[in-house]
Structure 1
Amino acid sequence: MDPDAVSRASRVPHGGTTDTSVLDFSANTNPERPEGVRDVYAAAFDDATRYPDDEYREFRVAAAEYVSRDQAEAACSPDDVIPTAGGLEALRLAFEVTLGPGDSALVPQPSFGEYDREIRLQGAEPVSVAHDAILDADPERHEVAVVCTPNNPTGAVASPNELREFAARCRESDTVLVVDEAFLDFTDVPSLAGTSGVVVARSLTKMFGLPGIRAGFAVAVGELRQRLAVARRSWSLSTPAAAVGAHCMRDEAFVSRTRERVAAERERLRESLSDDFDVFPSDAPFLLLDVGDRDVATVVETARERGVAIRDATTFPTLDSHVRVAVKRPDENDQLLRALADV
């Protein structure tokens, strides 16, 4: 990290609320969790009087199997997995080992605001490209390129073939491709994990509904993997986070049920909300809505008064009349529809 850049940086706004009196649709986390999580956490807590095993072998094996599940053949080895305290730490680690003062990185826009912040903290310069044009961008003369799939907040998943073609162009340009797959496990699209010249960042926050656990990982191969492994903080996962993460990633039935529910409810919400809003197509557990000539702040406040928190998406660059809503369980989604009626 560049010390001079820190004084010029600032925090990034996010969804999520600590107000338990409202139903939170502003953060895109699963309202359900795999069975047995509480017991796994309690058992691991008893082991937390000792430092974690810094090899994290069980977590690495589970993570490698998890990202390989939708691939034709397992392309990710446990040795390729770099445990991190959440997906955001995986992103920071990727930027720390690839960027320095004066470098530049291609980033999609609108997209996750932490990309700009983390890149700037390294003293590098983010170069914005429209999120739906990033795969057509020229990576030449950029040290890093970033792709978010499905993109947050628009929800569109990148074409796997086009993404692999872009990865090949990045390798030809000696540009490291960082792929944020935080929401990819809500789809059956294969991960890019195990691809040369690529750092994949994964989060367990969204699918497994445990943002407070702070568990995630990066995946890379070859010399890039070695740099991540050396730079990784020692004991980067707590003992409970490692145990819970491994347990969750092995629950294939939970992931399958969640995908089916989210796909069905997302389509139902899209159809209902399209009567009053311009709704973006989405492959993610959220929908981006254009509220038109309504005042966004008023829409957000009205929904809150009706017991629902939604995300003011005008904090994303280029969005000036948008809100984002998560996809939850049917009864909760009904409450969202009531809260947004006639706003």
Structure 2
Amino acid sequence: MAGPEIGDEIGDPIQHGGNLSRARTLFRHAPEPWVDLSTGISPHSYPYSPLPDNAFARLPDVASAERLKALAAAAYGAPSVAHVAAGPGTQILLPMVADLIARTGRAAVLSPTYAEHARAARLSGFEVTETDDLDRLAEADLAVIVNPNNPTGRIVPRADLRALAAVMRAKGGLLVVDEAFMDVSDASSVTDAVDAGGLVVLRSFGKFYGMAGLRLGFVISHPETVAKIENRLGPWAVSGPALHVANEALADVGWQCAMRLRLREDAARLDALLGAAGIPVTDGTSLFRFIRDPRAPAVFRHLGERGILVRRFEERPNDLRIGLPCENDWPRLEGALKTI
């Protein structure tokens, strides 16, 4: 039986990366195991030390939680520990951040981008506009920018972000800057500007450290805002195992530097393979590459039939996002691209 038609894919898309169950439904005869390149998660996980024997038996240690916040403040450039809140993944923090201002207002999301920001704002009662015009964000009560952007890799300059935060602050609004991929970017973070108010920065642990399943994310903002988020989260928001791993990883500057170099090399290797197949890379980060090409649906199908999942987008059929393979999966990807 042949693979799905392009129209079948477009009518019933995979809404998020990592959905191998849906991929198996779309491509029933694809070879196993699947090569999942549909996320922007590093294929190189942080080599943490063994967990303590009682890691799952005891409640998370308060001192370890405070140390995590201190390390996060240093790693991400926050003004102080009081400017940092830690939670079980950025995803759970999105609606909490949206609830910081009146729910009857307007929200604007710089798009195309990660769909969960708009969804969280709608769930909080906002009328949401998704726009590619940065100036329109100033009209909203809640403005959201992913920087560097997922999936395009677009970067909004720091000066523009600070200017927009000042506009939002003056009218009691809020600018949310999601810096989930800032660990692998040469762009300038705005975490050091949060003390002025009107600005929340989100940072994600799992993508750069290759440990998305650990579920750890941070809110960096004015201490009053951080206190509101922590009150919503309650005690023990971060698990004991997550504290153990993240405290090691955030302190390991040597590993971080070496990994940034390795990811840049991996991204260049992926660009070369795609280029040899006649697929030009439009943009991206060193954790994923972004393609905008009218052949994108055919590329998605060709790779899917060979058990390689990349991220496609229902509303933008010419767009693809391709993550980095694990070391053992490079030959399989190269073979599939040679027969594109």
- Please give the range of the TM-score, normalised by the shorter of the 2 chains: 0.7 to 0.9
Residue pair 2:43, 2:324 contacting (<8 A) in 1 also: no
Question: 1 CA distance for matches of 2:108 and 2:241?
Answer: 36
- What do the CA deviations read for 1:67-95 (whole angstroms, capped 9, x no partner)? 02xxxxxx421121111111212222211
Q: Does 1:311 align with 2:320?
A: no
Give the CA deviation at 1:293: 4.2
Residue 227 of structure 2 is matched in structure 1 by 226
TM-score by length of 1: 0.83
Q: Does 1:84 align with 2:82?
A: no
Change (3 A) 1:328 1:169: farther
Question: 2 CA distance for matches of 1:308 and 1:264?
Answer: 21
Question: 2 CA distance for matches of 1:111 and 1:219?
Answer: 21
- Comparing 226-235 with 240-249, greater Cα deviation is found at 226-235
1:169-318 matches, cutoff 5 A: 169-194=167-192, 195=194, 196=196, 197-274=198-275, 276-293=278-295, 296=297, 298-312=298-312, 314-315=313-314, 317=315
Counterpart AA for 1:29: I
TM-score by length of 2: 0.83
Q: Does 1:340 align with 2:333?
A: no
Counterpart AA for 1:187: S
Give the CA deviation at 1:126: 1.3
Change (3 A) 1:99 1:29: farther
Unaligned runs of 5+ in 2: 1-13, 22-31
Give the CA deviation at 1:334: 5.0
Residue pair 1:150, 1:284 contacting (<8 A) in 2 also: no
Residue pair 1:139, 1:173 contacting (<8 A) in 2 also: no
1:62-211 matches, cutoff 5 A: 62-68=71-77, 75-100=78-103, 102-130=104-132, 133-134=133-134, 136-140=135-139, 142-194=140-192, 195=194, 196=196, 197-211=198-212
Question: 2 CA distance for matches of 1:342 and 1:119?
Answer: 43
Residue pair 1:90, 1:202 contacting (<8 A) in 2 also: no
Change (3 A) 1:127 1:284: farther
Unaligned runs of 5+ in 1: 1-11, 69-74
Residue pair 2:88, 2:215 contacting (<8 A) in 1 also: yes
Residue pair 1:157, 1:283 contacting (<8 A) in 2 also: no
Counterpart AA for 1:128: E
Residue pair 2:95, 2:123 contacting (<8 A) in 1 also: no
Give the CA deviation at 1:278: 4.0
Residue pair 1:34, 1:251 contacting (<8 A) in 2 also: no
Question: 1 CA distance for matches of 2:248 and 2:95?
Answer: 25
Query: Match of 2:120, SS?
Result: helix
Give the CA deviation at 1:60: 0.6
Residue pair 1:29, 1:206 contacting (<8 A) in 2 also: yes
Question: 1 CA distance for matches of 2:100 and 2:236?
Answer: 18
Give the CA deviation at 1:204: 0.8
Alignment: residue pair count: 312
Residue pair 1:215, 1:242 contacting (<8 A) in 2 also: no
Question: 1 CA distance for matches of 2:100 and 2:68?
Answer: 23
Query: Match of 2:333, SS?
Result: helix
Query: Match of 1:208, SS?
Result: coil
- What do the CA deviations read for 1:209-247 (whole angstroms, capped 9, x no partner)? 111111111111143223223222332111111221121
Query: Match of 1:301, SS?
Result: helix
Residue pair 1:52, 1:235 contacting (<8 A) in 2 also: yes
Question: 2 CA distance for matches of 1:66 and 1:244?
Answer: 15
Residue pair 1:16, 1:24 contacting (<8 A) in 2 also: yes
Counterpart AA for 1:139: A
Percent of aligned pairs sharing the same letter: 27
Counterpart AA for 1:321: N
Q: 1:27 aligns with which of 39, 44, 66?
A: 39
